[in-house]
Amino acid sequence: MSTTIRLHRVLRTSPDHVYRAFLDADALCKWLPPHGFTAKMHQQEPKVGGSYRMSFTNFTTGHTHSFGGKYLELSPGELLRYTGVFDDPNLPGEMQTTISLRKVFCGVELNVVQEGIPDVIPAEACYLGWQESLTLLAQLVEAQVTE
């Protein structure tokens, strides 16, 4: 058995800006790790069939868990679909995450569906982590920084 979670947000930015935040390694390391974690991108080929490998480190304990996967579908400003597999054998199976973007009058509608989450990870923990990550994503992509 596995778990599926769904999240929805509307962000005050463009679909292209959000799309880029999912594929830029530095941006991803800034917003994806939930509160209390840091991230490192070890390898990334943001193209269909390309792969990625990254890790999250718990800032308090120093414990690191790594994971990676493949990009299955990339449609600029509209859709990202990728797999994820944890290196830890206690977190078995392959997850699939689908990010749908749609331009709306006040910005972009973002829908996240993550399927195949190992049963040992409570759904509530996934929701909490994604909610924290999406808050950080909004802070990154909604900022209007000019030089």
- Whole-angstrom distance, CA of residue 35 vs CA of residue 15: 25
Residue-wise pLDDT for 109-122, tens only, equals: 999 999 999 989 99
Q: Which residue has the higher pLDDT, 66 or 145?
A: 66
pTM of this structure: 0.93
Please choose, from the candidates 2, 6, 3, 1, the residue with its C-alpha nearest in 3D space to the C-alpha of residue 127: 6
Mean pLDDT, range 122-140, rounded to an integer:
95
**What is the residue extent of each domain of the chain?**
2-141
Question: DSSP string of 70-95?
Answer: EEEEEETTTEEEEEEEESSTTS-S-E
pLDDT tens profile 64-113: 999 999 999 999 999 999 999 999 988 888 999 999 999 999 999 999 99
Domain 2-141 maps to which CATH number in 3.30.70.20, 3.40.1160.10, 3.30.530.20, 3.50.50.60?
A: 3.30.530.20
**pLDDT cut 70: percent of the chain above it:** 97
